Structure 1
Amino acid sequence: MMKNQLRVKLLAGVIASALSVAAPVYAQDTTSGLTGRVVDAKGAPVAGAKVKIVHVPSGTTSNATADANGRYQAQGLRVGGPYHIEAQGTGIKEIDAENVFLNLGETSTINLTETAAATAQLEGVTVTANAAQVAVFNSDNKGLSTNISHAQLEAAVNADRSFQNIARLDPRVSITDRDSGNVSANGKNYRYNCIMVDNVNAGDPFGLNGNGLATITGAPITMDAIDSVQISTSNFDVSQRGCVGANINMVSKSGTNEYHGEVYYGYRTSKDGFMGEIAPVGGNTDSPYYGWKREWTAGFNVGGPIIKDKLFFFLSYEESKRIGYAASSGPSDSITAGTTPVQGINTAFYNSVLGKAQQLGLNPGDQTLANLTNKRYLAKVDWNINDQHRAVFRYSETKEFQPVATGSATQVSPNSNWYFNNRNIKSYLGQLFSDWTDVFSTEANLQYTHVVTARGPLVGGYQPSVSVSNSTSSSTPNVTLGTEFSSHVNALDIKQISGYFAGTWHLGEHTVKAGFNGAQDKVFNAFMQGYYGSYTYWAPSNNSVDNFANGAWEAYSIKQPAPGFDLNSAQANFKKQQYGAFIQDTWQATDRLSLTYGIRMDAPRFPGSPLYNPCFAAAPGAAFTAKNADGSTLCTASKGGFGYTNNTLPSTSPLFQPRVSFNYDFDTEYKTQLRGGVGVFVSDVPTVWYSNSFGNSGLTSVTYSITDQASNPVGTLLCSQNGTSFTKAAGATCPAGQISYVKQAPSYNAGNPLIPGGTTPAAPGASGAQMAVDTIDPNFKMPRTTQIALAFDRELPWMGIISSLELNYTKTNDDILYQMLNYGAPTGVGPDGRNLYYKTISGTFATTRANANPAFGTVTRLTNSHGGQSTSLTWSFTKPMSDDWSAMMAFRVGHSTDANAGASSVANSNIQANMWVNPNLDSITTSNYDVPKRVIAGATWQHKFFGDYKTTVSMFADLHSGAPYSWIAGNDVNGDGYSRDLIYIPKSATDVAWKPGTTATQIQQFMSYIQNNSYLSDHMGQIAGRNATRSPWVNQIDLSFKQEIPGIFEGNKGELRFDFFNFGNLLNSKWGVEKRATFPLFRQLANVTGIDPASGKYIYDITGSQYKDANGNYRPQQLIVNETGGGGTSIPSQRWSVMMTARYTF
């Protein structure tokens, strides 16, 4: 007898469109869900109907039973499809749904409805549905997100196979720095993103990488092993944890009942006309890329059954190499030495410095090239234990060796100053998905990751750092050689273990989800900057190369283990733990209104604490000395300490995060819905920010730091009030109360570095042996925000286009604020009202931090800022794949503010990387990551010209506002020890004094520049604002062409593909080039050298080479076209290039 069936065929090709569409979010997940109602021909629910859900490629089966309202639920399903859904029940014909595809992290609604025709006839009835509509117009769609299927990943233009080129498909997610790979969501710090693979952390476990990933380059796993990606910027599901920024979750591929695989080889070269030539800022001649010569990537993956319908495997291997890394910057008259010309450093000066270095026994290195290598492994097993239980086991490993060419717009470095990053990452994961009953299911996972990183000199072995400046008043521009300052001692070992468990109950119109998670990081961080010593030479009155030859250094610093400690015991060794729990209810209040509400709790734990420093905790004022048990000096502080302990850690109080969201489906001809939510979100901070406190207690190491701004000869008696800034003694002795030091000759022997004042390290706090202490406010709270989202989706009458208008507002409740506590009391006030900390104010500034505690160097505190916000309004249009093409376009406007960019891994650098008038204030201004306007557009066209072999052309355009920056002085204006001072913009040439020797022409050119600059001219007579002006727009268009060709065997195919990065730059060398300010986003307008005693005005100095063009005319520090050529870039980030890939699939 013929079976009566109703077949509901969902258009698989629609959901596999080549451009991403907005999709609902279902937590940080590796799976999909399915819900719907089983209804008979009269519209009555079919209680007790049995629903069988089969993943056709693998035979994985899940069963559900409809409740009294006919509703069925299934969770923990494999992503993708196709699925076959079958419903049987009393009084209905069998209902089948075929070709159902499920998105990552989404619970799709598939209603199974018997029709009158099916009841009256014995033949099947076919009903079609638009899967793109199912993805968007869905009761679970309450937040703001983008889902990217496997087909979309394959179509996406990705010339460097990077994670960033996938993340940018969400209109709220921007690549804020092409060169470093920063990815920011709605203008938030890239360190606040959650990057997951298979629901476990794949982000940077410590916080050192600019791309936010555990890997240095590329993606967390090879792109060809990723099945789908979900990007969420507002996810109100309380099982989401640790995300104030974007939640980016990737799921790896799995094996099926058929054997499938591919081998591929990709190649890109900077030679032979296959990469663009662009002109540097200020230049007129286009020049080739010198970062590396060529790169190749080769790999394979294969998957299939071990036992049909039961056990499956998937294997992936990829190896890549970039060959011929070169310098990132070079002398201004020799651009072929690098991509960034350094004004003020010519070839003659560069060669003279290297020549003197060799004569002095240093190994300065040369321009020898280096190679980057990368190997990625993945093995995965899926086990269908039975219809109720499914398990997944995955192992992955990444091995990376990255050479980093140092240098900047103000620094040229030979390869003795370059360094390597050597990283190995191993990850183990187990997952279990269980349906215990028709109404109760669980998910559990356990993962372990081990990350080992080493950093050291690329060539020349370990030696002191030496910087020789070609300036009479500043340490830049310079030639820097020897071991890079942060690579003297730098190694990292992290062991991570985490677990997650969640249970879901289906209770009629309510779905209750509850669970918990826990994680522990065990960290060993060996980090000691300047362990072999660091010298700075400049020429205040003569030739800096001569000073170098004679040993007349201007500044010297060295960090060494304190007495009683060795290099190993002086390092950070600690544990960090995180625990969380959550519960929520999703209520289908009516057929059209769905509500989700819940609460999450997170609590950090720190089993240990930093080493207690009694000298730091001593009361200020009176001298204090602490002794060891053997009577030796532990530390000493001639003026006492700071009056509070250094070994406190962040608050461990529970952080509660209530969230509520909704979705309302309007009854209209064309599908329309309103969705949104409000909730509290908490993010962890990078582990390295905790590590700073463990590694810098002030007791385990001592820092000697001496500045002699006159570059006096060796043997000169120097005097200091604060133990840091020294001047030549007026007589045979120093004044009472001042510290004396006889200048010593440099030592360039790494095994016997210069220890100022003696041959062994002094006790911490003793004369010249300052303690550097990083502390954390005991009331410090993790970054916490309140987010509000509201969105309106509408199906348009044409071609299935879906339009969405999405608003996101984020109020920052708690964020980071770094403060430096050892400035001492101000010594005066500048003409513009800022506090000054110089000992000598009238005339030429001298002796920074005059009233600082001499026993201590930098003393930092990590505390909270309580301001800042982010707003974002996005309007998007998406045309699903039909008639061989798909397209999308999105417009976004927004603004973001904060107090501190958190741009560095080092506490002191996070202070130095900020711009200010008066330091330590919680001043809320435009964020470094602010992108006020962005337009993205994409399109894919496919056609079969030859049999079943597709031709595919894809395009993606990304146009957005340039990065913000600040106008600052080129030196330290206020005497706080940092050259990050926002500059006063003169109203006229007579509003400030000028350094003797400044010509009238130079002054006129300076004022003319101000008057012709829109920002500066509008703010004359004011102090420049932080991030108050902006670089030019950034426009990038990428293009991909792909052609399938016949394979060797039946069912196999070949593929030839060309991915053009920055295709617009191919058409015009001036297009697609990003101009930005020097990190951390500043431009120097002039130096401020003192206060004129007669007029009380600042003394401006624009006579230095950094303020002159090639003709000697005034110009401020220029914007740069930044291609560091090995400094962590994933691609030649400014010019066009093409990745050519050959692939064979079977």
Structure 2
Amino acid sequence: MQRFRTLLSLSPLALAAGILLGQSYTASIRGTVTDASGAAVPGAKVTVTEAERNIPRTVTTDEAGRYVVTALPPGKYTLTVEASGFKRYVQSDFPLAVQQQATIDVQLQVGEVTTAVEVTGTAPLLNTTIAALGQVVENKYILTLPNLGRDSLVLAYLTPGVVGSAGRRGDTNTNFVANGARNSTSDVLVDGVTVTTVEQNSGITDLKYKPSVDAVQEFKMQTNFFPAEYGQTGGAVINMVTRSGTNEFHGTGYYFFRHSDLNANGWFANRAGSARPYYRRDQLGGVLGGPIKKNKTFFFANYEYTKSKSPLSYTATFPTPEQRRGDFSKTFYGDGRLIQIYDPFDTFINASGQLERRPFAGNIIPESRWDPVAKAALKYFPEQNQVTNPITNTNNWFAQGINEGISHGSLIKGDHNLNDKMRVTVRYSYGRSSGNPPNLFGKGNPAYTFNDGPSGTRVHQGVVDFTRT
């Protein structure tokens, strides 16, 4: 099997394109075909058909009756085995998950090939060929389990051995611990291509792209013993696959709404007489998939819009009215001692021969000594509006407002089967988000845009997957 992918990720600061050897997210089936006596049946025709797209893959058993079918996208399949002098064997509607390597051994019965033996209600297929540990989270669980933030990565915590870092839980990046490995060292793959970046002097927590919950078919959380192809990880691998179109048109529209008016106030807030904090989140979108040409070419598309408003508060320490006039005579340490201000340009040599500075008289800096740039910047510092510590005057400023955020996400994916040996998949994803926090420093304050002002990001990701078996 050969697989190549082209990844194109664009951001305001980076452009990267290359031909990459992709990590596997597909499944495979292998087994042995025998007769009633246990003898191998060579030359048997084995056909594996993708049920929802009616795409067959056919192989022939070798002299030992063995067969293997690789590079199967996750989904439901039907297995058919035919050989001269034997009844046709059919096993239908069994699922294959991300990177599953299933074994199905078939025993044929003597008879006409026009007569079929159909197997239904079989036990789940066991993986007896690889030792990778992990948990597959299917689409039905992704869509139906409680997920307050509607983020698929939160469900990675369903995997045994995966816990939050330092007691945290519910992080939407890789800040988790898998089987005791260090946090923030895991890799995340979407359709076989990594979406993480290595951060300087830090871990792997920056995910450039995450598909919408409704666009994810399933993912596998691999926690140990994964193959060497997954090299960019020190902890675990999240192998995620996006949905594809089928032979039938399917679509879903959704709207999720959260509002503080529907919530109860906290017990401590009620005791303090505080109002419920304001919060609102609206998320709407939809998915649509189907055939362009049945049994051959398919499409899938998703769009999602999210708007949120949440409270933001800030506490800081700024100069007191006296300090704004250069008067530090009431500036104290926590134990009540005066914090002495020294004149850096008034020095002398003491009796020990060391250079010392003289303090400003009265601990007051004359205005004539003020730096003009600092004097001009002082007017942009917010004024004290509360007293929390009458000695040190720390945390003497508090402000709150509403933080607004808007994001758009879209995905379009196409699958085309050239023949039963070759397949091409193309996906393009686009994400745009903006944040508009409140100007707590006051309208027109330049510090707002420099530190905590409006922000925005745009991410483009393209994946081209060519598979030949």
TM superposition score normalised by structure 1: 0.30
Residue number in structure 1 paired with 2:266: 277
Note the residue ranges of structure 1 that are not aligned, 5 or more in a row. 1-26, 332-343, 345-355, 408-413, 436-1146
8 A Cα contact 1:327 1:406, kept in partner: no
Q: CA deviation at 1:213?
A: 3.9
User: Counterpart of 2:355?
Assistant: none
Residue 120 to residue 167, structure 1, CA distance change in 2 (3 Å):
closer
- 1:257 is the counterpart of 2:247: yes
Equivalent residue number for residue 212 of structure 2: 222
Q: Percent identity?
A: 26
Asked if 1:155 is matched to 2:144, the reply is yes
Q: Provide the residue aligned with 2:458 in structure 1.
A: 424
Q: What SS does the aligned partner of 2:235 have?
A: coil
Q: CA deviation at 1:394?
A: 0.6
Per-residue CA distance 1:24-74 (angstroms, 9 max, x = gap): xxx942311111111222221111111111112112221111112211111
2-side partners of 1:187 and 1:364: how far apart? Answer: 46
- The Cα shift of 1:125 comes to 5.4
* Pick aligned residue for 1:311 from 286, 293, 297: 297
Residue 203 of structure 1 is matched in structure 2 by 196
Task: Tell me, yes or no, if the aligned pair for 2:87 and 2:116 is still in contact at 8 Å.
Answer: no
For the residue of structure 2 that corresponds to 1:224, the secondary structure is: helix
| Paired amino acid for 1:76 | A
Assess if the C-alpha contact under 8 Å between 1:180 and 1:211 holds in 2.
no
The within-5 A match list for 1:621-1020 is none
- Determine whether 1:165 maps to 2:154: yes
Asked whether the equivalents of residues 412 and 427 of structure 2 are also in contact (C-alpha less than 8 Å), the reply is yes
* Contact 1:372–1:401 (CA under 8 A) maintained in structure 2: yes
Report the Cα distance in structure 2 between the residues aligned to 1:388 and 1:235, rounded to whole angstroms: 30
Q: Which among 35, 38, 62 is matched to residue 40 of structure 1? A: 35
CA distance in 2, matches of 1:35, 1:404: 56
Q: 1:143 aligns with which of 132, 148, 154?
A: 132
Going from structure 1 to structure 2, the CA distance change for 1:308 and 1:273 (only over 3 Å counts) comes to closer
Quote the residue 1:238 is aligned against.
228
User: Quick one: which amino acid aligns to residue 323 of structure 1?
Assistant: K
- Return the alpha-carbon distance in structure 2 between the equivalents of residues 146 and 307 of structure 1: 34
Contact 2:143/2:213, CA 8 A, preserved across alignment: no
**Residue of structure 2 aligned with 1:60, choices 38, 41, 55:** 55
Partner in structure 2 of residue 379 of structure 1: 412
* Residue 326 (structure 2) aligns with: none
Confirm or deny: 8 A CA contact 1:316 1:377 kept in the other structure.
Answer: yes
**Offset of 1:367 from its aligned partner?**
3.3
Distance 1:329 1:222, change over 3 A: farther
Q: Deviations over 1:2-30 (max 9, x none)?
A: xxxxxxxxxxxxxxxxxxxxxxxxx9423
For the residues of structure 2 that align with 1:289 and 1:322, how far apart are their CA atoms?
A: 17
Q: How far apart are 1:249 and its partner, in Å?
A: 1.1
CA offsets 1:308-355 (integer angstroms, 9 cap, x no match): 111111111111011244225589xxxxxxxxxxxx9xxxxxxxxxxx
For 1:188 and 1:406, the matched residues in 2 are separated by: 41
Partner of 2:429: 396
Q: Amino acid of the residue matched to residue 432 of structure 2? A: K
Deviations 1:553-583 (A, max 9, x none): xxxxxxxxxxxxxxxxxxxxxxxxxxxxxxx
Q: CA deviation at 1:433?
A: 1.2
Partner of 1:722: none
Unpaired runs of 5+ in structure 2? 1-21, 318-333, 335-373, 384-398, 441-446
Question: How far apart, CA to CA, are the structure 1 residues paired with 2:251 and 2:202?
Answer: 32
Change (3 A) 1:392 1:276: farther
- 1:423 deviates by 1.5
Give the aligned residue type for 1:199: G
Does the CA-based 8 Å contact 1:213-1:220 persist in structure 2?
Answer: no
Residues 514-663 of structure 1 mapped to structure 2, 5 A cutoff? none
SS at match of 1:229: strand
SS at match of 2:261: coil
Q: What is the letter of the counterpart of residue 212 of structure 1?
A: T
Higher relative contact order (CA 8 A, sep 6+): 2
Give the structure 2 partner of residue 1078 of structure 1: none
CA 298–211 in structure 1, closer or farther in 2 if over 3 Å, else same: farther
Q: Take 1:199 and 1:143, find their aligned partners in 2: how far apart are those partners?
A: 17
Partner of 2:184: 191
Cα deviation, residue 235, structure 1: 2.9
Question: For residues 68 and 208 of structure 1, do their structure 2 counterparts lie closer, same or farther at Cα, with a shift above 3 Å needed?
Answer: same
Q: Of 313, 327, 336, which aligns to 1:327? A: 313
CA contact under 8 A between 1:51 and 1:66: conserved in structure 2?
Answer: yes
**Partner amino acid for 1:326?**
L
Describe the shift of the 1:274–1:80 C-alpha distance in structure 2 as closer, same or farther (beyond 3 A): same
Structure 1 residue 434 corresponds to structure 2 residue 452: no
Match of 1:70 in 2: 65
The answer on whether the counterparts of 1:41 and 1:119 sit within 8 Å (CA) in structure 2 is no
Tell me, yes or no, if the aligned pair for 1:277 and 1:286 is still in contact at 8 Å.
no
Deviation at 1:252, TM superposition (A): 0.5
RMSD between superposed Cα atoms in Å:
3.4
- Give the structure 2 partner of residue 302 of structure 1: 288
The 2-side partners of 1:316 and 1:209 are apart by 33
SS at match of 1:48: coil
Establish whether residue 267 from structure 1 lines up as the match of residue 257 from structure 2: yes
Measured after TM superposition, the shift of residue 126 of structure 1 is 4.2
Deviation, structure 1 residue 380: 0.5
Contact 2:87 2:109 in 1 (8 A): no
* CA apart distance, 1:186: 2.8
| Contact 2:402-2:438 at 8 Å conserved across structures | no
Cα distance in 1 for residues equivalent to 2:40 and 2:293: 39
Q: Give 1:264 deviation, angstroms.
A: 0.5
The Cα of 1:422 is off from its aligned counterpart by 2.0
Q: What whole-Å deviation, never above 9, does each CA across 1:1067-1111 have from its counterpart, x for those lacking one?
A: xxxxxxxxxxxxxxxxxxxxxxxxxxxxxxxxxxxxxxxxxxxxx
Asked if structure 2 preserves the Cα contact closer than 8 Å seen for 1:191 and 1:207, the reply is: no
Go from structure 1 to structure 2 and tell me whether the alpha carbon gap of 1:294 and 1:64 turns closer, same or farther (over 3 Å shift): same
Q: Which amino acid aligns with 1:72?
A: Y
Q: Once the two structures are superposed, what CA deviation does each residue of 1:608-647 show, in whole Å capped at 9, x if it has no partner?
A: xxxxxxxxxxxxxxxxxxxxxxxxxxxxxxxxxxxxxxxx
- Partner residue of 1:80 out of 72, 75, 84: 75
Is the counterpart of residue 293 in structure 1 residue 279 in structure 2?
yes
Q: Which letter does structure 2 place at the counterpart of 1:422?
A: G
SS at 2:295 equivalent: coil
User: Alignment partner for residue 238 of structure 2, among 221, 245, 248?
Assistant: 248
- Give the superposition deviation at 1:90: 2.9
> Who is 1:95 aligned against?
89
Number of aligned residues = 367
CA gap of 1:111–1:267, structure 2 versus 1, over 3 A, is same
Distance 2:294 2:118 in 1: 32
Q: Is the 8 A contact 1:50 1:63 kept in 2?
A: yes
Give the residue type in structure 1 aligned to 2:212.
Answer: T
Deviations 1:852-898 (A, max 9, x none): xxxxxxxxxxxxxxxxxxxxxxxxxxxxxxxxxxxxxxxxxxxxxxx
